[in-house]
Amino acid sequence: MSAIVSSGTAARRSNGARIFNRVFIYGLLAFFAIVYLMPLFVMLVTSFKTMDEIQNGNMLALPSAPTFEPWVKAWGETCVGLTCAGIKGYFWNSLKMVIPAVLISTILGALNGYVLTKWRFRGHTLVFGLMLFACFIPFQSVLLPMATILGSLGRFGVMLQNTVGLSFGFGNPTVNLVLVHVIYGLGFTTLFFRNFYEAFPTELVKAAQVDGAGFFQIFRRIMLPNSLPIIVVTVIYQFTNIWNDFLFASAYAGTGESMPMTVALNNVVNTSTGVVEYNVNMAAAMIAAMPTLLVYILAGRYFVRGLMAGAVKG
């Protein structure tokens, strides 16, 4: 009888400990989530407030009379430097830079991963090691060498323009940024695809070769259709890094109308004269952050799946 009572007591204690642990863990997660999301909440509610309400009210309070005027002003009438052009044009500059940079770096990374795993050659390990080393090179260390290379390409583009009438975009700030981000991101995209293709069955590639399929035919019909998880990971990673980049953009985009969103946003915030329009600044920051937020909201659940897709071989 006493054994039964002891067993019941132990079971109740175990259930109580389990409930306490669960409440503690979820409570801690909720606390950190609130702390992490608090700046975003403040930005969002402030962007819908008037300046009078911001100056006289609580920054955590919801807007008493929500207005879209700060968003309209941030999108189309915000002054940058000595000119008032809004951040609309700079938003499209970022899109024109991000989309080709992400696509090119993803395709080249897939090709590199394909070659390094299914078409191995002598020294492929050394090549992969060097590309992996490129992932750890700091941004600051490549600023001057990259500026020298871009300057040489710009002069080459001028020479082509004068001789054959075509420059191929060399020297254009947007083209320069695309080139920089493709080169810098190639190590990461190669790493992602190489690890994913390492777990891909080599027998399928050999069977396709026996059937007469060539290098690009295998890549296009076998490898790419089965690479959706890692493609999503690579696109999210590259899109986030390139869209949020400020160092390369401020170094190579100049100060004119070719600036991307991050540089223009910094100028909007730092060139305010008189009363700082916090609502307009917050609205501009939300517009700049919206693409990356949408990418994570729409495809974030596939990110972890893609990272884990090549974790187990077999």
Residue 187 sits in a domain whose CATH number is 1.10.3720.10
Pairing verdict, β 79-80 and 83-84: antiparallel
pLDDT tens digits, residue range 42-65? 999 999 988 888 888 777 888 888
Nearest by Cα to 113 from 283, 287, 230: 230
Q: Walk along the chain (314 residues) and give the pLDDT tens digit of each residue.
A: 555 545 556 666 677 778 888 888 999 999 999 999 898 899 999 999 888 888 887 778 888 888 888 888 888 754 444 444 468 888 888 999 999 999 999 999 999 999 988 888 888 888 888 888 888 888 788 888 888 888 888 787 777 777 776 666 677 888 889 999 999 899 999 999 998 988 888 888 888 888 888 888 989 988 988 888 899 889 999 999 999 988 888 888 766 777 888 888 877 776 666 677 888 888 888 888 888 888 888 877 777 666 666 555 44
Query: 101 and 14 in one domain?
Result: no
Residue 47 lies in a domain: no
Vertex 18 angle, CA 16 and 23, to 5°: 95
193 token code pair: 């695809």
Residue 139 lies in a domain: yes
Q: Say how far apart CA 95 and CA 81 lie, in whole Å.
A: 22
pTM equals 0.81
Query: 136 and 18 in one domain?
Result: no
**Confidence (pLDDT) at 314:** 44
Query: 213 and 118 in one domain?
Result: yes
**Confidence (pLDDT) at 8:** 58
Query: 145 and 20 in one domain?
Result: no
Query: 235 and 123 in one domain?
Result: yes
Query: 175 and 110 in one domain?
Result: yes
Residue 282 lies in a domain: yes
Residue 59 lies in a domain: no
User: Pseudo-torsion of CA 301, 304, 306, 309, nearest 10°?
Assistant: -130
**Confidence (pLDDT) at 310:** 54
**Confidence (pLDDT) at 83:** 46
Residue 241 lies in a domain: yes
Query: 94 and 13 in one domain?
Result: no
Residue 73 lies in a domain: no
**Confidence (pLDDT) at 7:** 58
Query: 102 and 20 in one domain?
Result: no
**Confidence (pLDDT) at 111:** 93
Count: domains in the chain: 2
Query: 107 and 25 in one domain?
Result: no
Question: Which residue has tokens 């863990």?
Answer: 25
Residue 204 lies in a domain: yes
* Residue 3 belongs to domain spanning: 1-35
Query: 226 and 107 in one domain?
Result: yes
270 half-sphere exposure, CB direction, 13 A CA radius: 6
**Confidence (pLDDT) at 78:** 46
**Confidence (pLDDT) at 82:** 42
Residue 53 lies in a domain: no
**Confidence (pLDDT) at 72:** 87
Q: Say how far apart CA 18 and CA 253 lie, in whole Å.
A: 56
Q: Say how far apart CA 57 and CA 49 lie, in whole Å.
A: 10
Query: 101 and 192 in one domain?
Result: yes
Query: 294 and 165 in one domain?
Result: yes
